[in-house]
Amino acid sequence: VAGIGVHCCAPDVPLAALRGAGMDFVGLDAALLTWAQDDAVGELVEAGVRIIAGLVATGGGVPNLSDVRRTVEPVTALWSRLGFRPEQLGEVVAVAPACGLAGFGFDEARAVLRHCRRAGRALVDAPA
């Protein structure tokens, strides 16, 4: 399915403006989301916008890739606060690196992407 979206790894992403612009997906650094943005995220989801959650840090060397549950905790906690059904999480949210992998070697980048895949699978298999 073709769609249009945007990636923004800055704080204070203008979520309402992106929803109003008709985005099909929004990619963002989940570590930069604040509780004040919960309603705006909820409105995105209710409008059918998919979320690409940057959950694996990429800014300080190779991240800790050992605990998938810890990786997805920010988005599962947000989902719980918003009151959405847990089984819906894997349908709406995809897991990604927080930002680019340009500073990583091939093996490191592959490890990050494998961890993202495991974390995304956790959202489907055991969402909350």
| pLDDT one-digit tens code per residue, 13-68 | 999 999 999 999 999 999 999 999 999 999 999 999 999 999 998 876 666 787 89
- Please state the domain extents for the chain: 5-125
| pLDDT one-digit tens code per residue, 79-124 | 999 999 999 999 999 999 998 888 888 998 999 999 999 999 999 9
Please report, rounded to a whole number, the percentage of residues in the chain having pLDDT higher than 70: 94
CB contact set of 10 (below 8 Å; sequence gap of 6+): 29, 32
Which pLDDT band, with edges at 50, 70 and 90, does 128 fall under?
low
To the question of domain 5-125 being in CATH 3.30.70.1230, the answer is no
Our CA angle for 106, 108, 110, nearest 5°, is 70
